[in-house]
Structure 1
Amino acid sequence: MIRFITADQTLPLRSLVLRNGLPEAECIFAHDMLPSTFHLGYFDEKNELLCILTCMRENHGKIPKDAYRLRGMATHPDHRRQGYAAELLHAAIEHLKSQLGIEYLWFNARTIAFPFYEALGFGFISDEFDIPGIGPHREMYKYL
């Protein structure tokens, strides 16, 4: 089941999957609490949170219209390759299009995730760059 969650609910998976076990307090994004930011979670039948994402209003210089940025997408390591992340991302896109009227979604993707996002129709808008302590990334986007 997919539902809106709080920023605090994202922190355990952000820490585990995206920040190599950093304390949860160090996994908070500056935009987490803004009214325009939303967080989604994918829950299993036992109400365990398996996958998360955050979307925040943030324009990109290469995109000519208002856009949202995807941040902090993570799936628990024991539940990967089950389709949860794709379902969650589709739900976020539907919300952005139908409820918020947003036309573009962009983000910094880790190299390991390129095939996942490409399969969902996202394209590249940057060369590869390094985020210190996290690793190589490229910017990706999609017209919704």
Structure 2
Amino acid sequence: MVKFILPEEVLPLRSLMLRNGKPLAECVFEGDSSYDTFHLGYYADDEIKSVATFMRNDFFPDEGEGYQLRGMATHPDEGGKGFGAALISFAIEYLKEYNTAYLWCNARSSAAGFYKKLGFVNMSPEFDIPGIGFHYEMKLNLNHNI
């Protein structure tokens, strides 16, 4: 089940999966507490199994209002169960209600196939985020998706 969660609730999975176990305080993103940021968690067995953060960010300014998907992480024991896809599907429907034009992310190269299956399109050559790894800019137009 997908639920809106508090910013601090995303931190344990961010630390575990995206920041090599760094202290939670080092896993906070600028904008986590902004009024137009929201966080989603996928619950199973009364525990958060997957998280994602969505921040207002018009990265493609000529294409309307955009949101950035950041910090998506699923517990290593729960991968491949559709939890991450459920979070994105929920966010898409939510963002469409507010006429958001697109959702974009810096997708880890290893996760690009996952995003492509959900309809995201690669918008850049592969690039390195120092200390984090290789990524692609990927975008999903929301006004053309179901």
Query: Scaled by the length of structure 2, what TM-score is found?
Result: 0.94
Does residue 102 of the first structure (1) align with residue 105 of the second (2)? no
CA distance in structure 2 between the aligned counterparts of 1:63 and 1:140, rounded to whole angstroms? 16
Any idea what SS the aligned residue of 1:34 has? coil
CA distance in structure 2 between the aligned counterparts of 1:107 and 1:143, rounded to whole angstroms? 12
Does residue 79 of the first structure (1) align with residue 78 of the second (2)? yes
Corresponding residue for residue 39 of structure 1: 39
Q: Unpaired segments of 5 or more residues in structure 2?
A: none
What's the CA shift for 1:65?
A: 1.1
Deviations 1:54-113 (A, max 9, x none): 000001146521100000000000000001111111001110101x22010011000110
Q: Is the 8 A contact 2:63 2:101 kept in 1?
A: no
Q: Unpaired segments of 5 or more residues in structure 1?
A: none
Any idea what SS the aligned residue of 1:26 has? helix
- C-alpha distance 141-63 of structure 1, shift in aligned 2 (>3 A): farther
CA distance in structure 2 between the aligned counterparts of 1:117 and 1:14, rounded to whole angstroms? 18
CA distance in structure 2 between the aligned counterparts of 1:61 and 1:21, rounded to whole angstroms? 32
Corresponding residue for residue 27 of structure 1: 27
Q: Is the 8 A contact 2:60 2:66 kept in 1?
A: no
Letter in 2 for 1:115: G
Letter in 2 for 1:133: G
CA distance in structure 2 between the aligned counterparts of 1:20 and 1:77, rounded to whole angstroms? 13
Corresponding residue for residue 8 of structure 1: 8
- C-alpha distance 61-101 of structure 1, shift in aligned 2 (>3 A): closer
Corresponding residue for residue 66 of structure 1: 65
CA distance in structure 2 between the aligned counterparts of 1:63 and 1:111, rounded to whole angstroms? 26
Corresponding residue for residue 127 of structure 1: 125
CA distance in structure 1 between the aligned counterparts of 2:24 and 2:85, rounded to whole angstroms? 25
CA distance in structure 1 between the aligned counterparts of 2:14 and 2:123, rounded to whole angstroms? 25
CA distance in structure 2 between the aligned counterparts of 1:93 and 1:63, rounded to whole angstroms? 20
Query: Scaled by the length of structure 1, what TM-score is found?
Result: 0.96
What's the CA shift for 1:136?
A: 0.5
Corresponding residue for residue 115 of structure 2: 117
CA distance in structure 2 between the aligned counterparts of 1:64 and 1:82, rounded to whole angstroms? 33
Any idea what SS the aligned residue of 2:107 has? strand
Corresponding residue for residue 89 of structure 1: 88
CA distance in structure 2 between the aligned counterparts of 1:127 and 1:62, rounded to whole angstroms? 19
